[in-house]
Each structure stands twice: as structure tokens, then as C-alpha cells.
A and B are shown apart, each in its own frame.
Chain A
Amino acid sequence: MKRLFSSHFWADKDVQQLIGKQLRIGVILSSIVVFIGGMIYLSRHGHESPDYGTFAGVRQGLDNLPGIIQGIMQGKGMNVIQLGVVLLIATPIIRIALSVFAFLLEKDYLYVFITLLVLGVITFSMVGGLERL
């Protein structure tokens, strides 16, 4: 019984380490991508003047993943930055997905359910068509 308890304790610790590492890698990786994209963007458009005074939405292709990837293929800096932004948004979402497995390993089915619920809300916000309202 005591061993069982301690093995649970270590599993918990390992999960915390893993989540901590994943969050850090996500932030570092996305900042690098944002930085690279920023350099490309500045070298091509640095001399132009910024225009954010009136809201017109972003340029076409920057508001969805296929469009972002397509722009990267054409070497557009803005799209590379946006890929970094998408990676950044994905970082906490991947943390949730990791937690589902962590709670499964611990056989804590209540929290598997709770975590899946959170994942469900986020998935709904992604594919629920809320942006068209």
C-alpha cells in the first residue's frame, strides 16, 4: 500500500515535470518562429507605414491554418509570424491534451472527464463557426 502511494506520488511529479517542460518548449519554439517571421517581414516591409487605425481584419490567408501554410510556402514573413502565433495558442491546448493522458495513467476518471470537457469547449470554439457571427 505504501509503495502504491509512493508510485502515485512519483507519477504525479513526473506529469508536473512533463507539463512544465512542454509549456516552456512551446513558448520558446513559437518565439523563435515569430522572431524569424519578424525578420523576414521587416526586411521586406520595414520601410512602409503601419496602418492599424481602422479595423479591416487581417489580410486574407492569415485567419486560417491552410492559408497561413500556403503563405509560408511563398516566403511571406507575416505568415511565418502567424504560424508562431498559432503554435503559441496551441501550447496550452496541448497541455490539456497531455493532462488527459496523465489522469488516465492515474486512473482518475473523474478528471479525465473534466479535462475532456475543457478540451471540448476549446474544440467548439475552434470549429463551432463562432467567427462568422
Chain B
Amino acid sequence: MTILSFTLILLAGAFLAGLLGSLTGLGGGVVIIPLLTLVFHVDIRYAIGTALIASIATSSGSASAYVKEGITNIRLGMFLEIATTTGAVVGALIAVFIPTSIVAVIFGCVLIFSAIMGLRKKREAFSDEDVSKLARDLKLNGTYPAGGELVSYKVRHVPGGYFMMTFAGVMSGLLGIGSGALKVLAMDNIMRIPFKVSTTTSNFMIGVTAAASAVVYLQRGYVSPGLCMPVVLGVLLGAFGGSRLLVKANTKWLRIVFSVVITFLALQMIYNGVNGKL
């Protein structure tokens, strides 16, 4: 295979990943690493560097729209970014000491977790009851526009959420993914934030979190331009196309299919990791 055909196939694969990722809300980054390692037999370290850059691209691209609409809770995002960036730096640090086969297994587990998170029934659990002094002092409570009016919500369990965010940051730095599923879990289930706010705020934070570890990986030589070029352009185009299609598509079935695909890829990553093939 020549570099030209390799680039074109990768571009198509990344486009599909970005399209499905944005249609299902699972993010395109999750399939970039299995795509590169399992299909193209790229070393997992190059794959991690590439996926990190792709996640910065998609996160910044879609965050720009949400921030303008005023859904994103900028203060909450800013505060939790202390946790995710320190986590990401720690993750990038320990990545050197962990064998790639174990990284592959951890990646597979996080991937399966993301698939389950994508399928679970969502139940709003936020309330306007003001119980956390810390949330008040840090000005984390907010409002978001829904159906022409502003809905207000109060944040809970700030330390628990902060801790979970640090963990999400470590995973992001170690595996080169946005770990949006972990971030949303911390915000929905622990901090009791409305879905719309938690998904957009998570998205807003992914870029900064990924950037914190990306500078380390770039200097380590993990970020290869030959891979980043088709992947970044493909994922961005796909995500843009997905946001256009979103209104028309039946996302329920798509989510199920995509989750099955992700689980299959995850098992393969774990299998290859255990056998030392990655």
C-alpha cells in the first residue's frame, strides 16, 4: 500500500468515525484507536497521539456552538478543568511506565464502559434545591435555556465530582481519548447536573484536557503528521456532517449498532493486549 491510498482509506474511516460519533453522541475519538491499531496495524503509541489531536479538533469544533447558545456552564467547566488537566498530566506521565499491552486492556475496558453508558436509560436527576455550600461559594450553580425559558439547577457533591474528574483526566492522558463518558458520569450521577449542561460542559473541557497531555506526547514523538492529517480532517468533516444529519436520523438504532461495534472492538483490543500483540 502506498502512503496515498493509506491516507485516503484512513480519511474515509475517520470520516465514518466522526459521523457515527456525532450522531450517537459517543464521540469519534473512541473508535480512532481501534481503527488505527486493529485495522491499520499502527503502533498504539502513534494511535494515542493521533486520537488525542482528533479529540481536540472535535471538542473545540462543537464546543464553539454550545458556548454561544449559553448551555455550557463555563465556571463549572473551568473549575473541573483543574482536576482534568492535573489528571491528564499524571496520565501522560504514567503512560511511560505502563506496558502497551496493559494500556490496550485498560482502553478496552473504558470502551465497553462508554458503550454501556451510551445505551443506558437516561433519567434527569437535577433539582433546584440549594444544598452545597461549596457549590455556592464556587458559583457553580447555573441556568440553561430550554424551550424558550431559563431552567435553573444546583450542583451537588463537589468533592466527589472533582475526584471523578481527576480520574477521567488520568484516563484521557493515559489513553489519548476525551473520556467524555466518565466526565458525563461524574456530572450527571454525582454532581446532579442536567444532561444538556453536562454533555456540553464535558465537551467544552475535553479540548483543554487533551491539550494538557498532547503537549507532552508531541514532544515525545507520539504525534505523527502523516496520521494526524487524514484523521483530523476526516473526523472533523464527519462530525460536521453528523450535526447536519442529526435531526433526520433515527439515533436510537444507530446508538445500539454503534455500541455493539464498540464493544466488539473493545474485546478485540483486550484480546490482543492479553496476547501481547499490541
Contact = CB atoms under 8 A, between A and B. Distances in A.
Given A52-B43, A93-B208, A96-B208, A62 B74 contact: no
Given A41-B226, A118-B82, A85 B4 contact: no
Given A13-B70, A52-B227, A89 B214 contact: yes
Interface of B is mostly: helix
A92 B138 contact: no
Contact of A23 (B6, B45, B64, B216): B64
A105 interface: no
**Which of A21, A85, A86, A122 is most buried by chain B, counting CB atoms within 10 A of its CB?**
A85
A121 B221 contact: no
A32 to B, nearest CB: 10
Interface string B218-260: 1111111111111011001000000000000000000000000
A89 B211 contact: yes
A69 B115 CA distance: 41
A50 interface: yes
A20 B3 contact: no
Nearest to B232: A34
Interface in A81-123: 81-82, 84-86, 88-93, 95-96, 99, 108, 110-111, 114-115, 117-118, 121-122
Contacts of B46: 52, 55
B225 A42 contact: no
B231 to A, nearest CB: 10
A123 B78 CA distance: 16
Contacts of A62: 221, 223-225
A124 B4 CA distance: 38
A57 B220 contact: yes
Interface residues of B, number: 66
A108 B4 CA distance: 52
B85 A133 contact: no
B188 interface: no
12 contacts: A16-B70, A20-B67, A30-B57, A31-B232, A47-B2, A47-B4, A57-B222, A62-B224, A85-B225, A89-B211, A111-B78, A118-B85
Interface of B: 1-4, 6-7, 36, 40-43, 45-46, 53, 56-57, 59-61, 63-65, 67-68, 70, 72, 74-75, 78-79, 81-82, 85-86, 88-89, 92-93, 96, 138-139, 207-208, 210-216, 218-230, 232-233, 236
Closest 8 CB pairs of A and B: A57-B221, A92-B207, A131-B219, A46-B4, A81-B225, A20-B68, A23-B64, A55-B43
